[in-house]
Amino acid sequence: MLATRTIFSLLSLLPVRGQVVLDRRTMGRAMALAPLVGLALGSITALVVLSFRIFTKTPGAPPGTPAQNLFPAVMGIATLALLTRGLHLDGLADVADGLGAGRERALAAMRDSRLGAFGALALIFVVLIQVGALSLTISEHRGSLSILVASMTGRLAATLACTAGTPPAHPNGLGALVAGSVRPRQAACSVVAVVAVAAVGGLLDVDGGDTGRAVRAVIAVAVGTATGWLLRRYLIGYLGGVTGDVLGSLVEVTAAVTLVFMALDVPYGVKHRLGIL
CB neighbour class for 183 (10 Å; exposed up to 12, middle 13-18, buried from 19): middle
Q: Is residue 145 part of a domain?
A: yes
Predicted pLDDT of residue 42? 96
Residues of the chain with pLDDT below 50 are: 271-272, 274, 276-277
Q: Is residue 246 part of a domain?
A: yes
User: CB under 8 Å to 246, separation ≥6 — which residues?
Assistant: 91, 95, 161, 169, 175, 232, 235, 236, 239
Return d(Cα 5, Cα 7) in angstroms, integer: 6
3-class SS string, 33-92: CHHHHHHHHHHHHHHHHHHHHHHCCCCCCCCCCCCCCHHHHHHHHHHHHHHCCCHHHHHH
Q: Is residue 118 part of a domain?
A: yes
H or E stretch covering 126: helix 117-139
Q: Is residue 179 part of a domain?
A: yes
Write down the pTM of the prediction: 0.91
Return d(Cα 130, Cα 207) in angstroms, integer: 20
In which domain, by residue range, is 260 found? Answer: 36-274
Q: Is residue 56 part of a domain?
A: yes
Q: Is residue 11 part of a domain?
A: no
CA atoms lying within 13 Å on the CB side of residue 277: 8
Q: What are phi and psi of 266, to 5 degrees?
A: -75, 130
Predicted pLDDT of residue 277? 45
> What domain count does the chain have?
1
User: CB under 8 Å to 173, separation ≥6 — which residues?
Assistant: 243, 244
Q: Is residue 46 part of a domain?
A: yes
Q: Is residue 6 part of a domain?
A: no
